Amino acid sequence: MKKLINHVDNIVDEMLDGMTAAHPNRLRRLEGTTVLVRKDAPVTGKVGIVSGGGSGHEPAHAGYVGPGMLDGAVAGEVFTSPTPDQVFEAIKAVNGGKGVLLVIKNYTGDVMNFEMAAELAEAEGIQVRQVVVNDDVAVEDSSFTSGRRGIAGTVLVHKIAGAKAAEGAALDDVHAVAESVIKNVKSMGMSLSPCTVPAAGKPGFTLGEKEMEIGTGIHGEPGVERTDIKPAAETAEILFHKVFQEMNMQAGDEAAVIINGLGSTPLMELYVFHHAIDRLLKDKDIRVEEAVVGEWMTSLEMAGVSFTMLKLDDTLKKLLDAPSDTVSWKRG
Amino acid sequence: MKKLINHVDNIVDEMLDGMTAAHPNRLRRLEGTTVLVRKDAPVTGKVGIVSGGGSGHEPAHAGYVGPGMLDGAVAGEVFTSPTPDQVFEAIKAVNGGKGVLLVIKNYTGDVMNFEMAAELAEAEGIQVRQVVVNDDVAVEDSSFTSGRRGIAGTVLVHKIAGAKAAEGAALDDVHAVAESVIKNVKSMGMSLSPCTVPAAGKPGFTLGEKEMEIGTGIHGEPGVERTDIKPAAETAEILFHKVFQEMNMQAGDEAAVIINGLGSTPLMELYVFHHAIDRLLKDKDIRVEEAVVGEWMTSLEMAGVSFTMLKLDDTLKKLLDAPSDTVSWKRG
């Protein structure tokens, strides 16, 4: 294991302090917790939004904390759900009097711990709603999941629910728009090489020298097929068609697209991949309102990519285009 | 070699088309070239700025094309200088009547080819000035270099010269401020693992399972020392002190800092590294105006990091903070 770290026990702690050191005007760490909130939290009269999960997916989720997106992000250990008390601290810190929405990726531990935190908060009189993101169409159940996994589509939930909250909308309305994104966003990934959880010290799975895996999860959970490495264009077709067939989209419809590198795949290759995706979108006559190509929801140093598509209507489009000012997602 | 590509001969071409497909409102490819320019180039009455070099360093340089930074970026093959005719096309396309500044990283091929392009342009009556960035303090000469290499500090030259040009400054003044950045910016990198140029098919160098290299260049050029892997904090100290001793800085001075991942080092580890750098900066009482942590000047999928520091005066600080609107560097 070759990692630029000090000790496996201190990675998350040092990462969080490194983030606040780099972005002192944007982020604040709640003392004694693994929670980062926006500097000015809580914002009075605005619904607070909290997301989070295991670490190792950076910039998710603290990179999306700031005006127009999240109010707080809770970091667990690497690939491990944060505990309910940490989530509870985040909820309390971002509650500006209009309640708090929790955006949870669909993993059993996350769902359980965020729900327990919601109960703790409600017991203290804080109104909490939650949504569970399950955009990964690869498999129905998985190592850590009942139902579909939540992956890079989660970032679009942050963006759009965050924009709605920034308008001053009520908790029910922020919740409804988040559900609308979840209903309309689908993703699927693939990997060329695994990643190593620092505390484990060895890769979570192995792939042969000429092998790739289709449908891998962001923690290295098994996908749907192992094959010889295919050209980027063919790989794009596999992911695109599986996603598209779930989308209920027609010629002329509008979409937002995320090409998400999982960690060690160079940006060069992500653009080569997007070149293929763009042709497939044109073949279907899908109009792309926004395409982002980069690293948005990573899996440590895994090599691979995921493809995310969100079907837009006028409401979602307006909120997608609204201003946001976070470390990793700046608009307007 | 496990890469998400179609054919090694088409990578740069597909990458460039993938970039314009993703960012059609920002970038335009000059037909039949490997040049990307800002959509509205040339901007009349503004000095044009062109940079570029071998591909494989994305987002450098096309990710920095747009208002407030570069007007055009020229892409060579992977780790190979673009040819003079390509650079010449870029110069012609961005010349808005006030001349063009070339920002060249100090590699023998780049310097030679950009200079030849400048001569071609001047023969057609376009005023051209050039600067050569040599921020890497690791070694004095190298495989591809006479003098010091140009690495991630180049991005700050793009930013600050771009802001000066956006003010409507004359070519001599844009040139002067670019030289001022170059004089005040220093960098140094290290690597944990090599990268593979697609056409070569195998890594450019090898490192043992427990080895790291200090001072590696962004093409895998040899550094200054191979050692057992050190903790991130100790690695940060080595890079910081070598850079700092060249900086002529005193307690209370202001700086901008880049923590640059070379490709496969997770953002988590870059923040762990920055956590250590931040302490060293505080020890020296250096005030950090801006710190960016991410991938700015990569080396395909190399694992490692480089540290860049720019000493700021009031002029450089104002230009650093000025608005820019590019794919990979948005401010204001």
> Using H for helix, E for strand and C for coil, what is the string for A148-172?
CCCCCCHHHHHHHHHHHHHCCCCHH
Q: What is the pTM of this model?
A: 0.98
Closest chain B residue to A5 measured between Cα atoms?
B232
Whether residue A178 is found in the same domain as residue A211 = no
Nearest Cβ partner for A272 among B14, B298, B300? B14
Query: Which residues numbered 118-137 in A keep a CB inside 8 Å of some CB on B?
Result: none
Residue A146 has pLDDT above 90, yes or no: no
- C-beta of residue A115 within 8 angstroms of C-beta of residue A130: yes
Confidence at A144, pLDDT banded by 50, 70, 90: confident
The pLDDT value given to residue B144: 74
Do the domain assignments include residue A3? Answer: no
Residues ≥6 apart with Cβ < 8 Å to A293: A259, A267, A270, A271, A274, B18, B19, B22
The Cα–Cα gap between A71 and A51 comes to: 8
Closest chain A residue to B198 measured between Cα atoms?
A269
Does the CB of A61 have a partner CB in chain B at under 8 Å? no
DSSP state of B215: S
Q: How far is the alpha carbon of A297 from chain B, nearest alpha carbon, in Å?
A: 11
Whether residue B143 is found in the same domain as residue B226 = no
Surface-to-core class of residue A311, CB atoms within 10 Å of its CB (0-12 exposed, 13-18 middle, 19+ buried): buried
Q: A126: domain range?
A: 10-184
> Does the beta-carbon distance from B303 to A264 stay under 8 Å?
yes
Does the CB of B238 have a partner CB in chain A at under 8 Å? no
Which chain A residues touch B59 with a CB distance below 8 Å?
267
Does the CB of A115 have a partner CB in chain B at under 8 Å? no
Whether residue A79 is found in the same domain as residue A132 = yes
Q: Considering A184, A208, A240, which residue would you say is the last residue of a domain?
A: A184
Please provide residue B87's backbone torsions phi and psi, each rounded to the nearest 5 degrees: -65, -40
Whether residue A178 is found in the same domain as residue A190 = no
DSSP state of B63: G
The Cα–Cα gap between A305 and A235 comes to: 10
Do the domain assignments include residue A33? Answer: yes
Nearest Cβ partner for A273 among B4, B272, B293? B4
Q: Considering B132, B151, B184, which residue would you say is the last residue of a domain?
A: B184
Does the CB of B176 have a partner CB in chain A at under 8 Å? no
Calculate mean pLDDT across residues A179-194: 98
Q: What share of chain A has pLDDT > 70, as a percent?
A: 100
The pLDDT value given to residue B78: 98
Distances (CA, A) of A232 to A102, A126, A237, B11, B272: 36, 48, 9, 10, 33
Q: β-pairing, A72-78 with A48-55?
A: parallel
Q: Considering B156, B184, B212, which residue would you say is the last residue of a domain?
A: B184
* pLDDT per residue as tens, chain B (332 positions): 899 999 999 999 999 999 999 999 999 999 999 999 999 999 999 999 999 999 999 999 999 999 999 999 999 999 999 999 999 999 999 999 999 999 999 999 999 999 999 999 999 999 999 999 999 999 987 777 789 999 999 999 999 999 999 999 999 999 999 999 999 999 999 999 999 999 999 999 999 999 999 999 999 999 999 999 999 999 999 999 999 999 999 999 999 999 999 999 999 999 999 999 999 999 999 999 999 999 999 999 999 999 999 999 999 999 999 999 999 999 98
Whether residue B31 is found in the same domain as residue B154 = yes
Reduced to 3 states (helix: H, G, I; strand: E, B; else coil), residue B270 is helix
> Does the beta-carbon distance from A303 to B301 stay under 8 Å?
yes
CATH number at residue B294: 3.30.1180.20
Query: Which residues numbered 243-282 in A keep a CB inside 8 Å of some CB on B?
Result: 259, 263-276, 278
Closest chain A residue to B17 measured between Cα atoms?
A275
Q: What share of chain A has pLDDT > 90, as a percent?
A: 97
Whether residue A48 is found in the same domain as residue A97 = yes
The Cα–Cα gap between A204 and A221 comes to: 9
Do the domain assignments include residue A1? Answer: no
Does the CB of B187 have a partner CB in chain A at under 8 Å? no
- Of B23, B175, B219, B274, which residue is the catalytic one? B219
Of chain A, the end-to-end C-alpha distance in Å amounts to 41
Residues ≥6 apart with Cβ < 8 Å to A64: A51, A70, A73, A155, A158, A159, A162, A326, A327, A328, A329
Whether residue B55 is found in the same domain as residue B131 = yes
Nearest Cβ partner for A5 among B2, B23, B232? B232
Whether residue B198 is found in the same domain as residue B106 = no
Closest chain A residue to B210 measured between Cα atoms?
A2
The Cα–Cα gap between B81 and B90 comes to: 14
> Does the beta-carbon distance from A292 to B22 stay under 8 Å?
yes
Which chain A residues touch B4 with a CB distance below 8 Å?
192, 232, 235, 265, 269-270, 272-273, 303-305
> Does the beta-carbon distance from B5 to A55 stay under 8 Å?
no
Do the domain assignments include residue B3? Answer: no
The Cα–Cα gap between A332 and A78 comes to: 33
The pLDDT value given to residue A132: 98
Whether residue B36 is found in the same domain as residue B124 = yes
Do the domain assignments include residue B5? Answer: no
CA atoms within 13 A on the CB side of B213: 20
- Number of other CB atoms surrounding residue B146 within 10 Å: 12
Residue B255 parent element (H or E): strand B254-261
Read off the tokens for A300.
């440590």
Whether residue A161 is found in the same domain as residue A208 = no
- C-beta of residue B16 within 8 angstroms of C-beta of residue B38: no
Angle between helix axes A11-22 and B267-283 (nearest 10 degrees) is 60
In B113-253, where do the E strands start and end? Answer: 128-133, 185-193, 211-214, 225-228
- C-beta of residue B331 within 8 angstroms of C-beta of residue B322: yes
Do the domain assignments include residue B310? Answer: yes
The pLDDT value given to residue A321: 98
Task: Based on the residue annotation, tell me whether B57 is a catalytic residue of this protein.
Answer: yes
> Does the beta-carbon distance from A271 to B231 stay under 8 Å?
no
Reduced to 3 states (helix: H, G, I; strand: E, B; else coil), residue B302 is strand
The Cα–Cα gap between A49 and A44 comes to: 13
Whether residue B28 is found in the same domain as residue B145 = yes
Does the CB of B202 have a partner CB in chain A at under 8 Å? no
The pLDDT value given to residue B145: 77
Which chain B residues touch A274 with a CB distance below 8 Å?
18, 21-22
- C-beta of residue B216 within 8 angstroms of C-beta of residue B147: no
Nearest Cβ partner for A232 among B6, B265, B293? B6
Whether residue B277 is found in the same domain as residue B224 = yes
CATH number at residue B28: 3.40.50.10440
Residue A126 has pLDDT above 80, yes or no: yes
The pLDDT value given to residue A20: 98
Confidence at A142, pLDDT banded by 50, 70, 90: confident
Whole-number mean pLDDT of chain A? 97
> Does the beta-carbon distance from A303 to B305 stay under 8 Å?
no
Query: Domains in chain A: how many in total?
Result: 2
- Active site (catalytic) residues of A: 57, 219
Do the domain assignments include residue A73? Answer: yes
Do the domain assignments include residue A5? Answer: no
